[in-house]
Amino acid sequence: MTEAPPLHLDEYRAAFAGWLDGHDALVSRQRDFFSLELADVATVQQQFQGELFAGGWVRCGWPEELGGLGGDARHRAALYDELGRRRIPIPESYLTVETLIPMLSVHAPELARAHLTDLLRGAERWCQGFSEPDAGSDLASLRTKAVRDGDDWIVDGHKIWTSQATVSHRCVVLLRTGTPESRHRGLSMMLVDHDTPGVEVREIRTMSGRDELGEVLFDGVRVGGDRLIGNEGDGWALAMYLLQWERGMYPWQRQAGLLGTLDALLERDGDGIDPHALADAYLSVLPMRLSAAHTIRRLAAGETPGPEVSVDKVLLARAELVVFDLVDSVLGGAIELDDDQHAQEWRHDYLFSRSAPIYGGSYEIQRQILADRVLGMPRG
Amino acid sequence: MVEVTAIDRDTLDIFERTARGVLAQPDVVVGNALEEIGWRDFLAADAASVVPLVFGILGELVLASSALDDVAFDALGARGEELRATGHGFAHPLGVRDAGSLSGAGLAVDAVLLGAGRDAPVALVAATDGGACVFTVAARSAGLEVAPLDGIDPALGLARVRGLVPTGDVTVHDDAGAPAVRPACRRALAHELLGATDAMLTMATEYAKVRRQFGQPIGAFQAVKHRLADVYVARQAAAAVLDESWRSDPACTTVAAKALAAHAGAVASENCLQVLGAIGFTLEHRLHRYVRRVRVLDRLYGSARDLRTELGRLLQAQGRVPRPGRG
């Protein structure tokens, strides 16, 4: 490995920008590649992840005891920002890394230590099995269950709309270990390998045309006791813990991408855009950038943000829609009526943006959380 | 004037408590109250700490004052202090453009005065071929008409000042940092707008907890929750950008912050009125004072709509969108 990157934040940022400048071919391949097949995307991004790992870039921001090179969430944020600035897609796998690893590093450090470096360099990918056919927004009603069998657990049930499921090697699953009536109290979290007998993964193609989602079916799957994250019954608390990272870092990653999209529009036809609509789009992303930055700084400082971080997700949902509505209007029909690769890419991104008010806790649920838990409104 | 350079947290806490105390008194004369707590010294020492506090409170309590003149004079440094000390009022623009513009014919002025009477000399920022400059116009100058106006918010006690002043009657102060006035005033107005937004949100939230219909508090209905959550999101969005505007390049961030704060005020006006229902629509309820106030604050230094156009043109000129703030 080459010399480790500097950890001073400004130096890190500058050094990473310099490294990207010197890797034109790698950068253009990431930027120009497009496929509706998730497996192809994963393969191309894996190559990039390997380089980012070898240079030490993605190891910064993670503690040394987990295989990182030190630093904190602000280093990771700087890396994502720089990728967005250059319109390089952030490898999809880093979304789950950002959500799951901070939680694991506190509640199952041995699992984090065993897998972090493989996740960073793209040797393995994970997904997050929360939603079920009958448990979407009402997560506490989930039914996929784990029953003790000696030191092991036997898992049965059905997860659905799981992002990246078809290209993942393992799944962090939220399971019912209590009675069916135990709601959020009787939940536990486990790491399950997709190659365990009894696990079946099926692709689900989304409106965007890509096999973005999947179903994960569990039929008498034996999971070792060492794969329980935290303690039995901790599942809900762990899910809530990781969601605050999902609020902070995912909107941060997306703002980097969305500002890159606005740059692309300016580059394409800067003066032709209605300035009011352009400002509207920018003003939908800017608060999300600054609010997410604030959340990340708090998380990096070891604070536990409260329910007010739901603001980040509400802002994200709106920003995605507003920015891609602007894209659609600037392209003037290409999304609807053209078939070249650019049009296909924009079409995919446009359609994918429509899911922002749904995934990761719906727009309605986030606003209800704000009303109930921040404003103290009476529960219905 | 006392030169203080940094205000520690404790002093600031005391300042805030004192400010709240004096400003919350019934029939307060805001100018006197601010004078009493040494507001201008604090402003000169640490605008970034006290402007959010004072303008937040002014917005929350829907008070009328000429504190915005102080902000403009403070942005002009020593020259501003001199103009203030010699009794000048400050003429604030009603849109994104400057309060005046200079041509061969003279100084064309169209602006509002917050506090000063019709007999005071007036300072303003006006456009010239060489960029914005600070001008003063003597009291009772020919061509300058000062007329009190009620408008939508008579409680503000505004006066419209307009006319064409002959060049001989104006003095230019090109030593003053004229371009600093607009961002400073936009920031202060944005804080006032957020104060007003918070007050509206609080009154609607409290009402939704106690007003019962169909056997339950109306705040238990999701449609009501969502309306108020939307107000909260709009104020948080504006606050995030406003906060950053004290650190980053103000050209872009103060425009963005004021546009977002005015938007938050508009969302609050609409949604809080809807939650308060008929009582909120009457003059018996104090909501109308806020609804009126945010309309006028929106107009000063450019409405949310005009600021968006200005911001869009700024982005087009730069060719890339700015990325203030870091993770």
Collect all residues of chain A within an 8 Å Cβ-Cβ radius of residue B244: 290
Is there a contact between B226 and A367 if contact means CB atoms under 8 Å apart?
yes
Among candidates A275, A276, A290 on the partner chain, residue whose Cβ is nearest the Cβ of B241: A290
Alpha helices (H) along chain A: 9-21, 24-32, 38-54, 73-85, 93-107, 109-121, 235-269, 275-300, 310-331, 334-337, 341-353, 363-369
Would the CB atoms of A375 and B205 count as touching at under 8 Å? yes
State whether B226 and A368 contact (CB < 8 Å). Answer: yes
> How does DSSP assign A71-134, residue by residue?
--HHHHHHHHHHHHHTTPPPPTHHHHHHHHHHHHHHH-HHHHHHHHHHHHHTS--EEEE--BTT
Three-class SS state of B268: helix
**Average pLDDT, integer, range A110-118:** 97
C-alpha dihedral, B258 to B260 to B261 to B264, nearest 10°: 160
Using left for φ > 0, alpha for ψ between -120 and 50, and beta otherwise, residue A12 falls in: alpha
Cα–Cα dist B273/B174, whole Å: 46
Residue A373: DSSP 8-state? I
Q: Which of A274, A314, A376 sits opposite B233 (nearest CB)?
A: A314
Catalytic one of A51, A246, A336, A364: A246
ipTM entry: 0.95
Q: How far apart are CA A260 and CA A262, in angstroms?
A: 5
Query: What pLDDT shows up at residue B1?
Result: 41
pLDDT in tens, B171-222: 999 877 899 999 999 999 999 999 999 999 999 999 999 999 999 999 999 9
Question: Partners of A158 in the beta sheet?
Answer: A217
3-state secondary structure at position B120: coil
What pLDDT score does A179 carry? 94
pLDDT tens profile A199-241: 999 999 999 999 999 999 999 999 999 999 999 999 999 999 9
The distance of A65 to chain B (nearest Cα, Å) reads 23
Which of B222, B256, B308 is the closest to A286 by Cβ?
B256
Question: What are A152's two structure tokens?
Answer: 């092991």
Q: Is A132 a catalytic residue?
A: no
Q: Mind spelling out the 3-state secondary structure of A157-199?
A: EEEEEEECHHHCCEEEEEEECCCHHHHHHHEEEEEEECCCCCE
Q: Is the pLDDT of residue B2 over 80?
A: no
Q: How far apart are CA B267 and CA B245, in angstroms?
A: 22
Residue A247 has pLDDT above 90, yes or no: no
Confidence bin at B3 (pLDDT 50/70/90): very low
B250-280 vs B304-318: helix axis angle to the nearest 10? 160
Question: H or E element: which one contains B271?
Answer: helix B250-280
User: What's the rounded Cα separation, in Å, for the pair B202 and B197?
Assistant: 9
> What is the reported pTM?
0.95
* pLDDT confidence band for A374 (50 / 70 / 90): very high
CB B95, CB B299: distance < 8 Å: yes
In a mutational test of the A interface, the residue from B236, B252, B272, B306 whose CB has the highest number of chain A CBs within 10 Å is B236
Query: How much of chain A, in percent, has pLDDT values that exceed 90?
Result: 93
In DSSP terms, B164 is beta-bridged to: B108
Report how far residue A317's alpha carbon sits from residue A324's, in angstroms, rounded to the nearest whole number. Answer: 11
Tokens read off for B11: 């002093």
- Encode pLDDT of A1-54 as tens digits: 468 999 999 999 999 999 999 999 999 999 999 999 999 999 999 999 999 999
Q: How confident is the model at residue B116 (pLDDT cuts 50, 70, 90)?
A: low
Average pLDDT of chain B? 94
Residue A202 phi/psi, 5-degree rounding, is: -120, 140
Q: Measured between CB atoms, which of A74, A278, A293 is closest to B312? A: A278
**pLDDT tens for each residue of A77-107:** 999 999 999 999 999 999 999 999 999 999 9
Question: Which pair of structure tokens corresponds to residue A143?
Answer: 């039914």
CB distance B232–A283 less than 8 Å?
A: no
Determine the average pLDDT of the residues in B238-253.
Answer: 94
Binary contact (A81, B323; C-beta < 8 A):
yes
Nearest-CA distance from A134 to chain B in Å?
Answer: 21
Nearest CA in chain A to B198: A375
Residue B156 pLDDT level (bands cut at 50, 70, 90): very high
- What does the DSSP assignment read for B158-204? EEEEEEEE-GGGEEEETTS-GGGHHHHHHHHHHHHHHHHHHHHHHHH
Which residues in chain B are contacts of A379 at CB distance < 8 A? 220
| pLDDT tens sequence across A289-338 | 999 999 999 998 989 889 999 999 999 999 999 999 999 999 999 999 99
| pLDDT computed for residue B142 by the predictor | 85
A371 chain-B contacts, CB cut-off 8 A = 219, 225-226, 228-229, 232
Q: What is the pLDDT of residues B19-53, one digit of tens each?
A: 999 999 999 999 999 999 999 999 999 999 999 99
Q: How many residues does chain B have?
A: 327
Cβ atoms < 10 Å from Cβ of A95: 20
Residue with tokens 């929350």, as numbered in its chain: B60
Mean pLDDT of chain A, nearest integer: 96
